[in-house]
Structure 1
């Protein structure tokens, strides 16, 4: 494990943007629905790269994409409601409760932007 301050800074910036989207910009549906989903993929990617110097970026992004799709599938089955997570709780917010093909497209877009944005 090797700490990478560049990825850490990007992670913090994106996290602040995500918090702003969830709180201040929540009324702008396009930003909340699409930009937030794109950025969450980049956030996860940068967070992992902060601590692990993974050389195969494509495999990492593929793993992140499949993880995001898995969470989206859990939303199809409304597991947050099944486990009694009320609307507004942390678990409900993280897991979600609404399946959307558009979200999966946003995750793929986030992977694409992470890949092209991390060319060295």
Structure 2
């Protein structure tokens, strides 16, 4: 199977990544950083994977959601500490250190938004 870059997904992944970096560096509030950032990270992962694969939308969306849940569960299990990486700033940022049910809700919301956007794209394509 030939794999090619889907430029729209790649550009969107880069844009979401830059938004996430901006949030991480400059936003320290009680809504955007903890909630919107978690909703967006699901979209970031989804777009990055879609840019390089030809799997179905639902397959990638569900896989992204499961991956997000697994990272959150790794935080619950204190994987950073178990791996002896508690002093590693990047490990703490990438893996995270604290479990939250709200994060799970945000990941689910991000998943739903992805499906709604993709469904809307398909409907718009059909109606043209």
Q: How do residues 11-90 of structure 1 correspond to structure 2 at under 5 angstroms?
A: 11-25=13-27, 27-54=28-55, 56-86=56-86, 89-90=89-90
- Cα distance, 1:87 vs. partner? 5.6
The TM-score normalised by the length of structure 2 is 0.86
1:53 deviates by 2.1
Provide the rounded CA distance (Å) in 2 between the counterparts of 1:82 and 1:35.
29
Q: Which residue of 2 aligns with 1:99?
A: 99
How does the TM-score come out when normalised to structure 1? Answer: 0.91
Unaligned 5+ segments in structure 1 are none
Q: Deviations over 1:46-76 (max 9, x none)?
A: 001111122x211211111111111111101
Unaligned runs of 5+ in 2: 123-128
Q: Rg: which structure is higher? A: 2
RMSD of aligned C-alpha atoms?
1.3
Q: Is contact 1:80-1:92 (8 Å) kept? A: yes
Q: How many residues align?
A: 118
Give the drift of 1:110.
Answer: 0.4
